[in-house]
Chain A
Amino acid sequence: MSEITLNINGEKHTVDVPSDMPLLWALRDKLNMTGTKYSCGIGQCGTCTVLINGMPMRSCITPAASVAGIEVTTIEGLSEDGKHPVQQAWHKVDVPQCGYCQGGQILTAASLIERNANPTDADIDAAHSGNICRCGTYHRIRKAVKLAAEIKKGDA
């Protein structure tokens, strides 16, 4: 066990974790922040995505100790009021079915539109191809990412 300080959504949390404990389980079992979900455990599906320095990363294969002190954004911290352009677009398009993968999809989209103001279908496919949606909401994700980019620019 080792004591580390995590910087999650702008808040510092000191936790005592096994040295190999992935960030996912530190969030879920140590901090009771359950918005980040477990699904494959091997970095194949993107469900557990968090933003590390703004880039989408798989928290299931990222040791918590490796991100000590680094800025981590989870789905709980994407916005204060739930009005991030991606959250607005996701609601307007009504993307989810079961919703389990959507936290990871939303963070991936938020990171994409930070870097790309006009994402094309190909850009969206490239950014989201690591995020499995078993319910098959891909069609809506494409639509919602484009809408989010427009909202961000103030066009919608």
Chain B
Amino acid sequence: MKTQSPVNRRAFLKVSALASGALLIGVGYRETVRAAHHGKKAKTWAPNLYVRIDPDGKITIISKNPEAGQGIKTAMPMIVAECLEVDWSDVHVEQAPLDDRYGRQVAGGSRGTPDGWNDLRIAGTGALAMLKNAAAEKWGVPASECEPNMNASIVHKKSGRSLGYGELAPLAAKQSAPDADSLKLKSRPKDFKLLGKRIPGVDNKKIFNGSLIYGCDTRLDGMVYAVFQKCPSFGGKVRRANVEQIKSFPGVVDAFVVEGTDDLKGLMPGVAIVAETWWEAQSARKQLRVDWETIQSDSTADYQQQAEALSKEKGQTVAEAGNIDKAFDQAHKVLEAQYYYPFVSHANMEPQNCTAYLQPSGKMELWAPSQNPKAGRSLISSTLNIPEDRIHVNLTRMGGGFGRRLTSDFMVEAAWIASKIDRPVQLQWTREDDMRHDFYRPAAWHNLKAAIDKDGQMTAWENHFITFGDGRRTASGARLSGGHYPAGLTPNFRLRQSMIDLKVPTGPWRSPGHSAYCFAFQSFMDEIAEAGGRDPLEFRIDLLSKKFGKTDFVTERAAAALKLATKNANWGRKMGPSQGQGLAFHFDHGGYVAYVAEVTAQPSGQFRVDQVYGAADVGPVLNRSGADNQVEGCVIDALSTAFLEISFTDGEVDQSNFADYNLLRINQAPSIQVDYVQSDNDPAGLGEPPIAPATPAITNALYAASGKRVRSLPLGNEGLYI
């Protein structure tokens, strides 16, 4: 059950030396394969750059991906340091800007770790090989006798000689680069000296003294500040606005009507106000009067009515296996339930912002807290007609991502304003702007139906998924794959789908889809287990042991995670009065995660999550501290989000700030214990996989504690509070 991919045969090493004698190690791709991979015309090959060793011994590792709190800026350089055989304290980490030579630079899809795994090992291992070769040449001994000593030095034990990496760098840069295919790459936890340890975040100390620069902390000479007012009803256009009056307010530098486009993910119409300080821009905005032309009036109540009507229809069949109608006819028991979850917002602690400066040369420079800076550059280029090679994007730390910053609306807004002002400008949204102009995780309804035989076996699973889309394609973040489990785990399976058209923007939200529908699937599984008189754990282990077709995950790995979590929680132990245990598992983004939650519930509806036991199989854990932090954070995020809802009236969002979208507080947070199945598979990212099963583990525990089956979120609407 190993899924180690072969070493990326496309990759090869590029080595060069700076005038200072510094050794540069990059990993490049052969252009033909790279071109084929991207389906584009072949481009001139250009090396990227991960490692720099200065003659004074300074070792710098470049982190190419945006950092939003997922820990990639620590984990990725750890891979290089591991392979370079250097002590972590000898390493400096630098953030790369957006640079096409790095390939994918996205914080999304939990792809950073798996995508970087081979390249970064090649960069570190290759650099070490060249340092060894340089030492061998210098000493006239075989390279096989030259070894690193974890002190950033190469030693020759027989003669007792030793040279630092810095001293060797100029000579190493002249060595021919080893063939990437010939390098022996470390891949197993038993090979690791650094990986797997608890390493604190590389930027911690700057966080602790306030010197870490987030997007909104960018400060440039002569910089001005901007706010941008869009129509509260999505897509609304500006008929007229009192911009001339606004220009007369204290501190205001300029004000503009932005015509904008029809693209909900692009430059929306609105009014921009620029001032010497942000407070002055925002104060002027309070006097802004805009006559909006609204173009839609979507409402949650209307969606609900449409969903009820669609529930009575059959929908379109997306996937089918076996003979499901016959299975229902012959069932010992048929179980039906409707599950619902609402729209939710990302609510990054750092509201959207971006700093931009159109230089006199015509070059547009941006400082963007973006999860996908390349997409932002492309949007700016197409919207403002600036060639991509004249747009330079600096990646700043982000105060949270969760998928919100994959969309680049704030970047194009800042660039538009900068194109009208001859000074650097920082666009800073308010919390209200952020909450009311998000790309929401879509709501959905699942009409679930299961057949159970007299032995309590599930013989059929049907899901009528009522989601959002234009009838042809589901909206962003609103898709459910036909191959998703329990497809392949039951002899008879059907996924039907109906769509509700919508005019409000949706988008990816941490583990898109999974973080929503896992609640429905894993809750209904408990209902099926109970209807068949079976224990929720035994039912799932049995389910995962049978194959009725293709599954989109390795069932043994899911079962192993479930077994570890339940072992640590002592599943089935006698609980106190009003207490209960609940469990759930899930697979997404390459990771397998299972939880046991323990809940104490009062008859009043008040409950407390006392303890959560998590178990994950994401291959080897790279940074134990960062990994635990992601799992712990996902449990909190799941519990927090189970209480939250974004609703719409007349095309506008009803919520606006933390007063009516109140994230979980510390006094409501459970204690969390995390463990891992450290398999030999390639590593997966951990930003997303731990969230999906946390919600149903908690609601299943609520059922065990109180007898109340939660089929609809948010929990507050079910009379539950914490």
Q: Which of A103-133 contact B (CB under 8 A)?
A: 103, 106, 124-126, 128-133
A65 contacts which chain B residues (CB < 8 A)? none
Q: Is the CB of B349 within 8 A of A134?
A: yes
B625 within 8 A of A: yes
Flag whether B681 is at the interface (Cβ < 8 A).
Answer: no
Closest to A39 in B: B349
B201 x A101 contact (CB < 8 A): no
Asked if B208 contacts A139 (CB within 8 A), the reply is no
Q: Which of B654-689 contact A (CB under 8 A)?
A: 657-659, 662-667, 669, 671-672
User: Would you call B632 and A34 a contact (CB within 8 A)?
Assistant: no
Q: How many whole Å from B623's CB to the nearest CB in chain A? A: 9
A87 to chain B, nearest CB (A): 4
Given contacts A136-B669, A139-B671, 9 further A-B contacts (CB under 8 A): A34-B210, A34-B216, A34-B219, A39-B349, A94-B626, A96-B69, A97-B70, A136-B636, A140-B629
The answer to the question of B117 belonging to the interface, with a C-beta cut-off of 8 Å to chain A, is no
**B580 interfacial contact with A, CB 8 Å:** no
- Are B633 and A87 in contact, CB atoms less than 8 angstroms apart? no
Cβ contact within 8 Å between B205 and A29: no
Assuming the A-B contacts A34-B213, A129-B665, A135-B633, are A91 and B349 also in contact, with contact meaning beta carbons closer than 8 angstroms in the complex? no
Known: A35-B211, A139-B669. A94 touches B629 (CB 8 A): yes
B window 64-95: CB within 8 A of A? 68-71
Inter-subunit contact B217/A34 (CB<8 Å): yes
Task: Give the docked Cα–Cα distance between A62 and B662 (Å).
Answer: 22
**Could you name 12 residue pairs across A and B whose Cβ atoms are closer than 8 Å?**
A29-B279, A32-B219, A38-B428, A47-B349, A75-B208, A79-B209, A82-B205, A87-B208, A98-B69, A132-B663, A134-B348, A136-B637
- CB within 8 Å of A: which of B618-663? 625-626, 629-630, 632-637, 640, 657-659, 662-663
Q: Does A59 contact B (CB under 8 A)?
A: no
Q: Which of A20, A36, A38, A91 makes the CB contact (< 8 A) with B283?
A: A20
B280 within 8 A of A: yes
Q: Evaluate contact between B277 and A37: CB separation under 8 angstroms.
A: no
B399 in contact with A98 (CB, 8 Å):
yes
A87 vs B209: C-alpha distance when bound (angstroms): 8
Q: Is the CB of A99 within 8 A of B209?
A: no
Q: Given A32-B219, A82-B209, does the pair A18, B666 have CB atoms closer than 8 Å?
A: no
Are A75 and B283 touching (Cβ within 8 A)? no
- Interface residue tally on A, bucketed by range: 35 or more
What 0/1 pattern do residues 25 to 44 of A give for CB contact below 8 A with B?
Answer: 10011101111111111101
Asked if A22 CB lies within 8 Å of chain B CBs, one says yes
Q: Judge whether A135 and B279 touch: CB under 8 Å.
A: no
Per DSSP, chain B at the interface is loop
Bound Cα distance from A1 to B283, whole angstroms:
13
In the assembly, what is the distance between CA of A45 and CA of B400, in Å? 15
Q: Closest residue to A125 on the B side, CB-wise?
A: B667
**A18-B279, A94-B200 are known contacts. Are A100 and B350 too (CB-CB below 8 A)?**
yes
Closest Cβ–Cβ distance, residue A109 to chain B (whole Å): 11
A142 within 8 A of B: yes
Nearest Cβ distance between residue A53 and chain B, in whole angstroms? 20
Assess the A25–B278 pair: CB atoms within 8 A.
yes
In the bound complex, residues from chain B placing their C-beta under 8 Å from that of A139 are 632, 636, 669, 671-672
The 8 A CB mask of B243-284 against A (1 = contact, 0 = none) is 000000011000000000000000000000000011110010
Given that A29-B277, A90-B208, A91-B205 are contacting pairs, would A41 and B430 also be in contact in the complex, using a CB cutoff of 8 Å? Answer: yes
8 tightest A-B contacts by CB?
A35-B210, A136-B636, A98-B69, A100-B399, A75-B210, A97-B69, A136-B633, A34-B217
Would A74 and B210 count as touching, CB distance under 8 A? yes
User: Given the complex, which residues of A lie within 8 Å of B219, measured CB to CB?
Assistant: 32, 34
Q: Assuming the A-B contacts A29-B279, A94-B201, are A42 and B659 also in contact, with contact meaning beta carbons closer than 8 angstroms in the complex? A: yes
Cβ-based interface call for B516 (8 A):
no
CB within 8 Å for A37 and B214 given contacts A29-B278, A137-B629? yes
B277 proximity list for chain A (CB < 8 A): 21, 25, 29-30
| B210→A21 contact, CB < 8 A | no
B657 touches A40 (CB 8 A): yes
A99 x B210 contact (CB < 8 A):
no
Bound form: Cα–Cα A140–B635 in Å: 13
Determine whether B431 belongs to the interface, using a CB cutoff of 8 Å to chain A.
yes
A78 at the interface (CB under 8 A from B): yes
Cβ contacts under 8 Å, B402 to chain A: 134
**Contact indicator per residue, chain B 280-293, by CB within 8 Å of chain A (1) or not (0):** 10010000000000
Q: In this assembly, does B132 line the interface, its C-beta being within 8 Å of a C-beta of chain A?
A: no
Residue B225 is within 8 A (CB to CB) of chain A in the complex:
yes
**Chain B, residue nearest A25 (CB):** B279
**Inter-chain contacts of A96 with B (CB < 8 A):** 69, 201, 204, 207
Contacts of A90 in B (CB 8 A): 204, 208
Q: Which residues in window 56-99 of A have CB below 8 A to B? A: 74-76, 78-79, 82, 87, 90-92, 94, 96-99
Interface centre among A97, A98, A101, A139, by most chain B C-beta atoms within 10 angstroms, is A98
**Are B657 and A21 in contact (CB-based, < 8 A)?**
no
Interface string of B218-252 (1 = CB under 8 A from A): 01000001000000000000000000000000110
